[in-house]
Amino acid sequence: MKLDEKMELPVIVVASGVLLPGASLKIPIKSKLNIRTIETHLARGAQSNHYVVIAYKVSTDKIYEIGTIAYIDKLFGMTFNSTTSYSLDVVGLYRANIEKLSIPTCLVTKIEDGKEEASFDHKTIESLISGSKILAQNSNSTNFSQEIHDLIDEHEYGKLADLCVSQMKNLGFMQVLEFLGTRDVEKRIEMCEKWMNSESNTLRLKMPNSLIPVGQKAQNPAAQKINKRKIPNAKNQVEQLEEKLNKIEFSEDVSDRVFSELHRLKSMNSQQSEYNILMNWLELVASLPWNTSTVDDIEIGKARNILADSHEAMDDVKQRVLEHLAVCKMNQSVKGMILCFTGPPGIGKTSIAKAIAESMGRKFQRISLGGIRDESDIRGHRRTYVAAMPGRIIEALKHCKTNNPVFLLDEVDKLYSGNQGSPSAALLELLDPEQNSTFHDHYLNIPFDVSKIMFIATANDIDRLEPALRDRLEIIEMSGYSLKEKVKICENHLLSRQLTKHCISPDYVNLDRKAITAMIEEYTMEAGVRQLERQVGAICRHVALRLAEALNSDPGSDVLPDMELPIRISEEDIHRILKIKHMKRVKIVEKMRPLPPGVCFGLSVTTNGGRVMPIEASKSKGTGKIVTTGHLGKVLNESILVAKGWLGANAERFGLKTLEENDIHVHLPAGSINKDGPSAGTGLACALVSLAMGVPLRSDAAVTGEISLTGHVLPIGGVKEKVLAAQREGLRRVVLPRSNEEDYLKIDEDIRQEMDIVLADTVEEVIDAMMEKSGVMAKL
Ligand SMILES: Nc1ncnc2c1ncn2[C@@H]1O[C@H](COP(=O)(O)OP(=O)(O)OP(=O)(O)O)[C@@H](O)[C@H]1O
């Protein structure tokens, strides 16, 4: 249909909201009259019409004489309970003089704007242009700002004024109606320019209405500044976002998803609740490192130096790491190679992973998984949830800004399955080289390639890992440090680190070796060095206090008065300083010496490293009953029966009394701690034989190994940890199963030389080794 000068068109009457030419308006159709117009003239089935007149109701019985001829963009109809409601999207075209109103139609004459530009005041136009540019900047629709710029370029100032006024949210209905009704273009431009320049308008152009504090409108420029800072300019935000997204090279399907969502965002009103959700999602997408990676710089010599400089001892671990790096270098990929460091706390699992990242030239990111029981912690929540968030993997990627960092999955053994799914199942997908090029986070909901990430896991107790997860990992066991190694670590690493932390020059302190040894032996009880580092920290604080006190006595001086430097910390000082703050370690071995018959030192391993575990057995007249105490598990209880069974079967051979006429009580101290496992078998057999013979065992020896009923000694785990624990406690001899010879050979040479390690095949050999008197022992 063509528009003539004079015509009859369907009419929609509104009482709020004015449609200016060039602007668009959404009109909910509520009144009966309007519904009738829609149903008779506009709705499907009715005579199809593309144009409509918007007439404005100024009082109960008066319609404004100027209306707007509009193009119908969309007509929505929704039927509910057999009544249909409508909503109309219209775009303003012309002002119209309403000649005759006969609802549902009216007779109108189109009002054309006269020739523009020539006669306009230059200053007014300039001001209109600058005002409209601000408006364009503040708008969140790129179409709108494009239109503004087009109208400026085409010198269509009348239309420009119409478009600008349509965006001024603070103007009243009558004000805009007056503007619509002003036929003179120049006058309209002046009106628009005046409104734009009024202070309150400028403010409103720059920020949403709700943010202007009541009674403070535009009076306080500082407040304006703060408000401006608080609320990012919505238009800029969307534009910046688009700019960022345009720079990213997405795969084709991801690109389709992302840009269709961006398109949706642009068409949304910023007040809509979904707007922020979509905005946050797009911002996350834009901030992820889709195409950013660091270049690997693996040089084996350099890597060896970095590992040597940052870590004392652990030569076999360093060797494994170097081998791994060599494979990465040859392959030019880390796909499918997932290291897992296991061992007691504080032995450098985290720090060696950091050193690996450094030697590869990759970024390092630690993801702590301890205590996670919700799958969505790893894979995020679906966007439909309130306060939905991405999972830790995507968050960490966002943080480190490259797509090939080294990720440390810390404490993978402390993942739990709960009602909210299994986090280790989510990890399986992440670590599967076949699947992880399209890792799916529920929040992100588009695939992200995580195959370039180098994953390193850590665990204290490998037995607690889910078998499927364990299968994906290349396990590198790390065991505790010997005394010598700890002294070296302290001298070369911990001390300097703590001094730097406490801002003390290394020239001011001299911590002698005996002092370090005392600190390790008497104030720590660990396989790693974390407690030791804490004690060194306590010494540094003591030194800092002394230095600060000395400086206080003469604040002007830059030389410390009355103080001999460096401050020497001797073994006595260690006891003086640490005794006050820290409980001295109870040496259980010393306490129990000399051993009475029926007591034996066993060895066990916990997640904190190895431990000497005394086994006590006593007898009383009875019928051969066995009582056990000390929180013993089923396997340990069975070991007692096996040991007693073996003794009963072999007593005659040894010329011993059996314990059949006695009741036996077996107790393992530290009664509140659960104990289990078969490795105490040899210890229990020794304790029972010693009890039956009434002969004490060596009090400088400990034993570990499983026994069979026929007297064979079977292999056990944690050999190095157990030997180190015995060494820490000052024991000299350790009796091990011969089948553990390979593990024994892996123990450092100097420990093997320091300790007297006996390998035994049978229970008799074990008992011989545990009872044989050494020269030193004869005195005990
Ligand atoms: N061989 C070593 N040489 C130098 N420093 C070490 C060595 N081993 C551990 N450390 C230091 O001991 C501290 C604790 O190490 P780290 O945090 O890596 O332990 P961890 O094995 O990861 O412990 P957890 O299992 O509790 O996480 C760190 O400051 C680390 O640098």
Q: What is the CATH number of the domain that holds 546?
A: 1.10.8.60
Q: Would you say the CB of residue 486 lies under 6 angstroms from ligand 1?
A: no
3-state secondary structure of 465: coil
Residue ending a domain, choose from 69, 92, 111: 111
Q: Whose CA is nearest to atom 31 of ligand 1?
A: 351
Q: Are 106 and 131 members of one domain? A: no
Let me know if residue 735 belongs to a domain: yes
Q: Please choose from 530, 606, 721, 724 the residue to mutate so as to test ligand 1's pocket, defined by most ligand atoms within 8 A of CB.
A: 530
Q: Are 307 and 196 members of one domain? A: no
Q: What is the average per-residue pLDDT within 677-693?
A: 89
Q: Rounded to the nearest whole angstrom, what is the distance from the C-alpha of residue 274 to the centroid of ligand 1?
A: 46
Q: Are 404 and 312 members of one domain? A: yes
Q: Has 349 been labeled as part of a binding site? A: yes
Q: Quick one: what percent of the chain has pLDDT higher than 90?
A: 20
CA gap 664, 537 in Å, rounded: 48
Let me know if residue 414 belongs to a domain: yes
Q: Would you say the CB of residue 344 lies under 6 angstroms from ligand 1?
A: no
CATH number at residue 447: 3.40.50.300
3-state percent helix, strand, coil for the chain, nearest multiple of 5 = 45, 20, 35
Residue ending a domain, choose from 581, 599, 625: 581
Q: Has 181 been labeled as part of a binding site? A: no
**Range among 234-243, 555-564, 714-723 rated most confident:** 714-723
Ligand 1 closest atom vs CA 313: 1
The pLDDT assigned to 118 comes to 60
Ligand 1 closest atom vs CA 344: 25
Q: Would you say the CB of residue 314 lies under 6 angstroms from ligand 1?
A: yes
Read off the pLDDT of residues 700-746 as tens digits, 9 standing for 90 and up. Answer: 899 999 999 998 999 998 898 899 889 888 888 999 999 999 988 88
| DSSP string of 204-248, one letter each residue | HHHS-GGGSPTT-TTT-HHHHHHHHHHS--HHHHHHHHHHHHHHS
Q: Has 343 been labeled as part of a binding site? A: yes
Q: Are 374 and 458 members of one domain? A: yes
Q: Rounded to the nearest whole angstrom, what is the distance from the C-alpha of residue 609 to the centroid of ligand 1?
A: 14
**What was the ipTM of the complex prediction?**
0.97
Read off the pLDDT of residues 441-463 as tens digits, 9 standing for 90 and up. Answer: 999 989 999 988 999 999 988 88
Q: Rounded to the nearest whole angstrom, what is the distance from the C-alpha of residue 309 to the centroid of ligand 1?
A: 14
Lowest pLDDT segment from 111-120, 686-695, 702-711: 111-120
Q: Are 107 and 126 members of one domain? A: no
CB 660 within 8 A of CB 595: no
The Cβ of residue 58 has, within 10 Å, a number of other Cβ atoms equal to: 13
Let me know if residue 225 belongs to a domain: no
Per-residue burial over 95-126, b if 16 or more Cβ lie within 10 Å, else e, is: bbebeebeebbbbbbebebeebeeebeeebbe
Which amino acids are annotated catalytic? 679, 722
Q: Taking 50 as the threshold, does the pLDDT of residue 636 lie above it?
A: yes
Q: Please choose from 306, 339, 342, 351 the residue to mutate so as to test ligand 1's pocket, defined by most ligand atoms within 8 A of CB.
A: 351
Q: Are 127 and 105 members of one domain? A: no
Residue ending a domain, choose from 521, 554, 581: 581
CATH number at residue 70: 2.30.130.40
pLDDT top residue among 336 and 668: 668
Domain encompassing residue 563: 485-581
The pLDDT assigned to 777 comes to 36
The pLDDT assigned to 555 comes to 52
What token pair was written down for 519?
């600190």
Q: Are 107 and 29 members of one domain? A: yes
Quote the pTM value.
0.61
Lowest pLDDT segment from 87-91, 231-235, 702-706: 231-235
Let me know if residue 336 belongs to a domain: yes
Beta carbons within 8 Å of 622's beta carbon, 6+ residues apart? 661, 662, 663
Q: How confident is the model at residue 203 (pLDDT cuts 50, 70, 90)?
A: very low
Sign of CA dihedral 693, 694, 695, 698: positive
Q: Rounded to the nearest whole angstrom, what is the distance from the C-alpha of residue 411 to the centroid of ligand 1?
A: 14
What token pair was written down for 779?
């005195």
> What's the chain's average pLDDT?
82
Q: Quick one: what percent of the chain has pLDDT higher than 70?
A: 87
Q: Are 602 and 456 members of one domain? A: no
Domain count for the chain: 6
Read off the pLDDT of residues 53-88 as tens digits, 9 standing for 90 and up. Answer: 999 888 877 888 899 998 887 777 766 656 667 778
Q: Please choose from 315, 350, 412 the residue to mutate so as to test ligand 1's pocket, defined by most ligand atoms within 8 A of CB.
A: 350
Let me know if residue 674 belongs to a domain: yes
Read off the pLDDT of residues 254-298 as tens digits, 9 standing for 90 and up. Answer: 899 899 999 888 888 777 778 888 888 999 999 999 988 888 888
* H-assigned helices in 445-603: 467-472, 483-489, 495-501, 513-523, 530-553, 571-581, 588-592
Q: Would you say the CB of residue 376 lies under 6 angstroms from ligand 1?
A: no
Q: Rounded to the nearest whole angstrom, what is the distance from the C-alpha of residue 311 to the centroid of ligand 1?
A: 9
Ligand 1 closest atom vs CA 348: 18
How crowded is the C-beta side of 131, counted as CA atoms within 13 Å? 31
Q: Please choose from 369, 462, 493 the residue to mutate so as to test ligand 1's pocket, defined by most ligand atoms within 8 A of CB.
A: 493
The pLDDT assigned to 7 comes to 83
Q: Are 177 and 272 members of one domain? A: no
The pLDDT assigned to 416 comes to 81
Q: Are 747 and 610 members of one domain? A: yes
Let me know if residue 310 belongs to a domain: yes
CB 609 within 8 A of CB 706: no
Q: How confident is the model at residue 108 (pLDDT cuts 50, 70, 90)?
A: confident
Q: Are 271 and 379 members of one domain? A: no
The Cβ of residue 232 has, within 10 Å, a number of other Cβ atoms equal to: 10
What token pair was written down for 439?
């890792």
CB 563 within 8 A of CB 661: no
Q: Rounded to the nearest whole angstrom, what is the distance from the C-alpha of residue 568 to the centroid of ligand 1?
A: 27
Q: Would you say the CB of residue 493 lies under 6 angstroms from ligand 1?
A: yes
What token pair was written down for 780?
């005990």
Q: Would you say the CB of residue 105 lies under 6 angstroms from ligand 1?
A: no
**Cis before residue 566, ω within 30 degrees of 0?**
yes
Q: Are 323 and 465 members of one domain? A: yes
Q: How confident is the model at residue 184 (pLDDT cuts 50, 70, 90)?
A: confident
Q: Taking 70 as the threshold, does the pLDDT of residue 562 lie above it?
A: no
Q: Rounded to the nearest whole angstrom, what is the distance from the C-alpha of residue 459 to the centroid of ligand 1?
A: 13
CB 289 within 8 A of CB 314: no
Q: What is the average per-residue pLDDT within 340-366?
A: 91
- Considering only CA atoms, which of 694, 664, 660, 667 is closest in space to residue 683? 667
Let me know if residue 222 belongs to a domain: no
